Structure 1
Amino acid sequence: MNVQSPADWPILVIAVIGSILLVEVVRRVLCRMGRKIEFARHLVEHCTWPAFTVAVVVATNVAFRPGMFGDGPAEREAAATVDRFLGLGTIGTVTWLIVQATYALTDVVLDRLVRVEGERNRRARRIRTQIALVRRIAAAVIIVVALGAMLFSFPQVRALGAGLLASAGIAGAVVGIAAQPTLGNMLAGLQLAFSDALRLDDVVVVEEEWGRIEELTLTYVVLRLWDERRLVLPVSYFTQNPFENWTRHGSRVLAVVYLRVDWSVPVGKLREALYTFLQGNPLWDQKDWTLQVTDVLPNGLVELRALMSAADSPSSWDLKCDVREFLVDFVRDNHPDALPRFRVESPETRAGAKWDLDPSS
């Protein structure tokens, strides 16, 4: 028989205060270590509040005694309820701390991958995508296990467990049918991440919209468009519909500019002027360029195609606009005869008659 002791409540208060002070000491030590160690810094960022909560709940749960409310039936029932909630709180807060510690550990790797540039950037983005999805799955599994532990802490739920297992097959089939779209999206997310078809920060064209992959989860993908809008699509969209990935094998992109001009355009001079302009433009990566006559259009104009390479898609877009502006100005200022014009054949010209262009006649 447990009898209430006058020292029970002071012991509880001392245990809670002592646990808080212990966590504060550890936090201060990690803050100092965080100046040199990234993992310590991320632990402080992610785990400070979960650690304080765990300290309070666990200390209360350890120091709490069933007889602290008294020996009456009502007091004992209230103490049993408090004890039950403390047990559930312990499971919940420890789960919160474990999930945040997992995020702190993976953030160390993700921070290093963000700083990778050059040829290794594509591989780094693939690993970032996979780590982000795996840690979401791990967090979901930890939370589900914690919820299961909470439920099975109730004797009534444990008693129902045997009966529920008998009908688990039917229930699983029903739940599987009901959750088919969600499960399909989750599997599609794993497929995209580990097949290297889509990565964080990839440049894609979807639904005639150009943008970068900003967020990739198990159920949806957030595409940050060029004008800062966000296009949110289910993950299954990318496994069921075609889309353009401009950075599938690297971030380097070719920019193309088309120009329709008259037959009198001096292509050689235009090619030399373009090369001179590219050499002075910092957006060109000094690798590929060309200017070619690609077609003669039915309306009588000549089609020129200027092709230049850039380090990434934003640079490619800006370089393309710069080159187009330069070519327009160059043709207009230096070779106005090459501006687009449409020729019309009249009966007089067919008969070989010469037009009198003197306005005074």
Structure 2
Amino acid sequence: MGSLLSRLTDSRLKPSIPTHTIFRSAVIMMLARMGSLHALEQDKGNRFWRRWLGRALPSADTIGRVFSQVVLVSIRSLLHHLYSRLKRNKALKKTHGFQVLILDGHEHTSSYLRCCSGCLRRTIHTREGDRIQYYHRNVLAMLSGRDFPVLLDVEEQKRKENEVSCALRLCERILKDYPRAFSVVVADGLYLEAPFFKLFLRHGKHIIAVLKDERRDLMEDARGLFQQEKPLIQIEGNLKRQIWDMEGFTSWQSLKREIRVVRCVETRTIRRQRTGEIEEETSEWIWATTLSQKEASTEAIIHLGHDRWLIENKVINEMVTYWHADHVYHHHPTAIVAFWLTLMLVLNLFRAFLYLNIKPEWRSKHTQIYFAMLISSALYQAMYPKIPP
């Protein structure tokens, strides 16, 4: 990894501070979960930085300026190197029999005052009149492993394009950089578009996407046929599933191939905490997939379809809540992506260390944030050795 760090570059002609020195500073900031460059700069005179960097800590302005000029490909190569090491060590376990790529969009910052050349714009209607709001959205891609997810890449949404167009640009790069990393793609109903499906089909990949647009011919045909078929009943504890699984749909004419549709109506018995009354909650899920019944069982489609929520509930929410992913360290389009890629690398290293080096008995007794706090505590102890633990 040290030799790869030395390959990090930026657009400065004669840099006085190497790019990898700036990058290593940001890595410690994120591991210690400091939350901002100014919080990092408060420890500028600490001896820890001379041991870690071989020199004094650069200023917050310098770190932000260098990150706005960094070559993003060089950071993405670090992510790819870590993925290759994990794959070589057989640490990437299949989930439900497949290597799965999950995509999701995320709005990570908004402001009425600050903007940059990469900001998206929208008009917000308020009592005081219309206001222009500036915001950033990105699309995140991750591998859903059995033990822990691996973040692969991120792409910023540009002006005058939707989330799917941004995702297509991201996916073309992932298919080039990670051609064998996954066999199935799982996405929201927003991605149920023919160009998106065709891109992965050309590369021999399968797709599972939520089907939720009632106006689609595919949805109308599926509902009509499901009414004529008796569902398969599954009961797991307090969860009851009614399942319909049919293939051979040709209603999606722009795709020009048959599609399989799986419907699952889930009824869960719960006890209300406030009143103590027992109630039933019912939810309906419908997925469209290119996987045939021979290639994937009905149970596999249901579990993979539900796994899509992992990227939102378990990954993005954790990044935002505990790792300050939505903080704008430096408001520049390149810097924003560079800091996101750096955090993704830090989280991949953290989770790989947690699941490959910490014994399961200890992991089962504590949350991930507990171990993150231990790492933060150790870093602060190294910075301030005279302070008792």
Q: TM-score, normalised by structure 2?
A: 0.21
For normalisation by structure 1, the TM-score amounts to 0.22
Structure ranking higher in helix proportion: 1
Q: RCO greater where, 1 or 2, for CA within 8 Å and sep 6 or more?
A: 2
Structure with a larger share of its residues in strand: 2
